[in-house]
């Protein structure tokens, strides 16, 4: 049963009559007026998330030096970028580290500076040190380059993140006797704390769990600018969590590949980050508008923290050993109280993804749409049923072909 | 006579030793505990003023026991510009000085509760917790 189409929503955006609510506001409206009335009123629900997203990076075209150079090896502020592309293109990954970083040789390592920090400096408008080496060719004779550039001074800078916006994530705990250092933060021994990483009831892919509206070409808030969903993310497994009795506990692990013009983005929404003992990364701000095409879409978009669940995973053993077991499921409403009961112990909880910043993103996206600056795109294809058939594959150790 | 304010950090291995008792008995030092966060078999921290002739010997004993000793002339500061209120420090902070204000989920820092253990400095992904001297 259609309530409205993309075309009708965009006509209302252009005429200034569109009704946009953040996911938090939409939850309140549905609670007050009921689903049917709310669906008749609301055109768009906005979402947001601001958390560390390791599978992020940017590609650049630096422009040609004189004499020309086919850059074979490239460093940006000492961080290697991948230059196995055309002459002056390179891709910088968020988790890349300087070659002389001590890493975990003095455990736990600090990982003070990496690709994500370079990206933050660039969007802050600062010049970055570009070093390049090559072997020299007849058409590209130059072998060495050492210069500085800012984003405004190069041809293209494009944020292109192969895996962002995890639909849901583990709640990480540590059952061992020593502190462990993970991409979920510092986990204290003997269930000393439990860390989770999502904006829950504001999180984009939790609000369109079956990908009815999100797909290739969806226009989004990305790093403070506008971006697009480019493809399904790597490890896109949009299944459903079930407990031992087979009861369903909501969405599991869909992901998105996203792309956008880095020159539009801001250091408030792209922050270089370091996880002690683990590595460097980029914290990314991302928000997606959900068109209320029918009541079911609004029902899903107004799921609350009490309806959404994380599975609790031991990062000292089961996770590193790639065993699928978990210690149960817990709702985000429980996690947000600051403590949960696990194995008859009270365990303090903490997020590693910023809820206040997620709320701010949903509000900014709402404002962009209300002002008429941001219309909604109908995806070329969505990322639901058609792509979820593929099972999660693992990599096995083999000694020969 | 030496009189100093110091911060002691214990790990799970030495927290159950009667260290403060030995400081007083064996080294004749006067201690005044200002803040303490010590539980059995957990890492802990303690801020105290230590006074006595044999202060340096007492300090050497603490180091021998694997206790980390820092002078209390430092201050931990939350860089508000940098802090994103992610919350990654809040279950690490042993005293609750760093905590989430609910329901806004904003990270707040109560400096009076800080025992300068600096665990937050390592736990903060965006390096918003700074040690000022």
Given this model, what pLDDT does residue B19 score? 87
A226 and A177, same domain (yes or no): yes
Q: Which one of A124, A172, A185 makes the best mutation probe of the B interface by having the most chain B beta carbons within 10 Å? A: A185
Cβ pair A195:B12 closer than 8 A: no
A266 and A337, same domain (yes or no): yes
A354: closest CA of chain B, how far (Å): 4
Question: Domain B2-71 belongs to what topology?
Answer: Alpha-Beta Plaits (3.30.70)
Q: Write out the residues of chain B at the interface with chain A, using a CB-CB cutoff of 8 A.
A: 12, 41-43, 84-92, 100, 102, 104-106, 119, 122-123, 125-127
Given this model, what pLDDT does residue A367 score? 98
- Catalytic residue, from A54, A103, A139, A171: name it: A139
**pLDDT, tens only, B23-32:** 999 999 999 8
The CA distance from A251 to A335, in Å, is: 17
pLDDT grade for A388, boundaries at 50, 70 and 90:
low
Given this model, what pLDDT does residue A246 score? 74
DSSP string, A264-308: G--TTTEEEEEETTTEEEEEEEEE-EEE--SHHHHHHHT--GGG-
> Is there a contact between B88 and B123 (Cβ–Cβ < 8 Å)?
yes
* Count of CB atoms situated within 10 Å of the CB of B25: 10
Question: What residues of B are in contact with residue A351 (Cβ under 8 Å)?
Answer: 86-88, 100, 105
The tens place of each residue's pLDDT in chain B, 133 residues long, gives: 788 888 888 887 777 778 889 999 999 999 988 778 887 777 888 888 899 999 999 999 999 988 999 888 778 999 999 999 999 999 999 989 999 999 999 999 998 888 888 999 999 999 999 998 7
Domain end, chosen from A159, A192, A216, is at A159
Say yes or no: A9 contacts chain B, CB-CB below 8 A: no
Question: What residues of A are in contact with residue B90 (Cβ under 8 Å)?
Answer: 338, 348, 350
Q: Measure CB to CB from residue A283 to each of B41, B122, B125 and give the nearest one.
A: B125
The CA distance from B39 to B45, in Å, is: 10
Domain end, chosen from A98, A125, A159, is at A159
Q: Measure CB to CB from residue B85 to each of A112, A336, A356 and give the nearest one.
A: A356
pLDDT grade for A350, boundaries at 50, 70 and 90:
very high
**pLDDT, tens only, A79-120:** 999 999 999 999 999 999 999 999 999 999 999 999 999 999
> Is there a contact between A241 and A235 (Cβ–Cβ < 8 Å)?
no
C-alpha distances (whole Å) from A110 to each of A101, B8, B28 are 9, 23, 40
Say if A396 falls within a structural domain.
no
Say if A1 falls within a structural domain.
no
Given this model, what pLDDT does residue A387 score? 60
Question: Domain B75-132 belongs to what topology?
Answer: Alpha-Beta Plaits (3.30.70)
* Count of CB atoms situated within 10 Å of the CB of B123: 23
Nearest to A187 by CA among A172, A198, A170: A172
Given this model, what pLDDT does residue A241 score? 75
- Give me the number of domains chain A comprises: 2
**Side-chain-facing half-sphere of A231: CA atoms under 13 Å:** 8
Say yes or no: A375 contacts chain B, CB-CB below 8 A: no
Question: What residues of B are in contact with residue A177 (Cβ under 8 Å)?
Answer: 12
Cβ pair A352:B100 closer than 8 A: no
Instruction: Give the DSSP H/E element, type plus range, for residue B30.
Output: strand B30-37
Nearest to A367 by CA among A7, A21, A8: A21
ipTM, interface predicted TM-score of the complex: 0.93
Cβ pair A356:B105 closer than 8 A: yes
Residue A235, domain extent: 6-53+160-387
Cβ pair A348:B91 closer than 8 A: yes
A126 and A273, same domain (yes or no): no
* Count of CB atoms situated within 10 Å of the CB of A143: 15
Nearest to A337 by CA among B105, B86, B67, B2: B105
Nearest to A265 by CA among A147, A370, A356, A161: A161
Q: What angle do CA A140, A145, A149 make, to 5 degrees?
A: 115
A355: closest CA of chain B, how far (Å): 6
A135 pLDDT exceeds 70? Answer: yes
Domain end, chosen from A122, A138, A159, is at A159
A118 and A164, same domain (yes or no): no
In this prediction, what percent of chain A has a pLDDT beyond 90?
91
Question: Is A103 known to be catalytic?
Answer: no
A138 pLDDT exceeds 80? Answer: yes
Cβ pair B88:A352 closer than 8 A: yes
**pLDDT, tens only, A284-338:** 999 999 999 999 999 999 999 999 999 999 999 999 999 989 999 999 999 999 9
Cβ pair B92:A350 closer than 8 A: yes
Q: Where in chain B are the domains?
A: 2-71, 75-132
- A116 token code pair: 């994500």
**pLDDT, tens only, A186-206:** 999 999 999 999 999 999 999
Cβ pair A354:B100 closer than 8 A: no
Q: Measure CB to CB from residue A186 to each of B12, B92, B104 and give the nearest one.
A: B92
């Amino acid at each position: 049963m259609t309530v409205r189409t993309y075309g009708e929503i965009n006509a209302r955006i252009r005429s200034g009559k569109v009704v946009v609510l953040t996911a938090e506001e939409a939850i309140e409206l549905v609670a007050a007026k009921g689903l049917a009335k709310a669906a008749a009123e609301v055109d768009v629900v906005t979402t947001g998330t601001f958390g560390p997203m390791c599978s992020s990076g940017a590609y650049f075209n630096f422009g040609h030096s004189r004499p020309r150079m086919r850059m074979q090896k490239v460093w940006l502020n000492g961080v290697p970028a991948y230059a196995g592309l055309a002459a002056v293109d390179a891709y910088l990954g968020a988790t890349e580290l300087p070659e002389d970083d001590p890493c975990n040789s003095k455990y736990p390592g600090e990982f003070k500076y990496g690709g994500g920090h370079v990206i933050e400096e660039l969007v802050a408008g600062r010049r970055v040190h570009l070093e390049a080496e090559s072997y020299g060719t007849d058409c590209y004779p130059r072998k060495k380059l050492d210069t500085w550039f800012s984003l405004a001074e190069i041809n293209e800078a494009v944020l292109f993140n192969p895996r962002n916006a995890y639909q849901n994530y583990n709640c990480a705990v540590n059952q061992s006797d020593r502190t462990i250092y993970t991409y979920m933060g510092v986990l204290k021994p003997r269930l000393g704390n439990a860390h989770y990483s999502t904006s829950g009831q504001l999180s984009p892919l939790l609000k369109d769990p079956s990908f009815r509206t999100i797909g290739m070409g969806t226009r989004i808030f990305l790093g403070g600018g506008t971006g697009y969903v480019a493809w399904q993310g790597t490890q896109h497994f949009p299944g459903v969590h079930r407990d031992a009795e087979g009861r369903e506990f909501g969405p599991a692990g869909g992901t998105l590949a996203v792309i956008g013009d880095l020159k539009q983005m801001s250091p408030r929404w792209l922050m270089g980050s370091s996880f002690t003992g683990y590595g460097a990364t980029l914290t990314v701000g991302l928000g997606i508008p959900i068109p209320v095409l029918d009541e079911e879409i609004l029902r899903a978009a107004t799921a609350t923290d009490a309806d959404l669940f994380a599975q609790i995973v031991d990062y000292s053993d089961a996770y590193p050993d790639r065993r699928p077991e978990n210690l149960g499921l817990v709702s985000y409403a429980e996690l947000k109280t600051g403590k949960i009961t696990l194995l008859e112990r009270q365990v303090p909880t903490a997020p590693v993804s910023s809820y206040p910043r997620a709320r701010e993103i949903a509000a900014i996206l709402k404002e962009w749409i209300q002002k008429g600056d941001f219309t909604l795109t109908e995806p070329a294809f969505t990322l639901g049923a058609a792509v979820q058939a593929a099972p999660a594959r693992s990599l096995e150790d083999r000694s020969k072909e | 006579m030496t009189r100093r304010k110091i911060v002691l950090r214990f790990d799970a291995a030495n927290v159950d030793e009667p260290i403060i008792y030995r400081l007083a008995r064996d080294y004749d030092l006067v201690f005044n505990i200002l803040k303490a966060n010590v539980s059995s078999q957990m890492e802990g921290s303690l801020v105290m003023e230590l006074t006595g002739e044999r202060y340096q010997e007492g300090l050497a004993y603490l180091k021998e026991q694997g206790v980390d000793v820092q002078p209390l002339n430092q201050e931990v500061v939350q860089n508000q510009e940098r802090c994103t209120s992610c919350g990654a420090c809040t279950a690490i902070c042993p005293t609750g000085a760093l905590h989430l204000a609910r329901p806004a989920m904003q990270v707040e820092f109560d400096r009076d509760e800080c025992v300068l253990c600096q665990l937050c400095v390592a736990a903060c992904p965006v390096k918003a917790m700074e040690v000022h001297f």
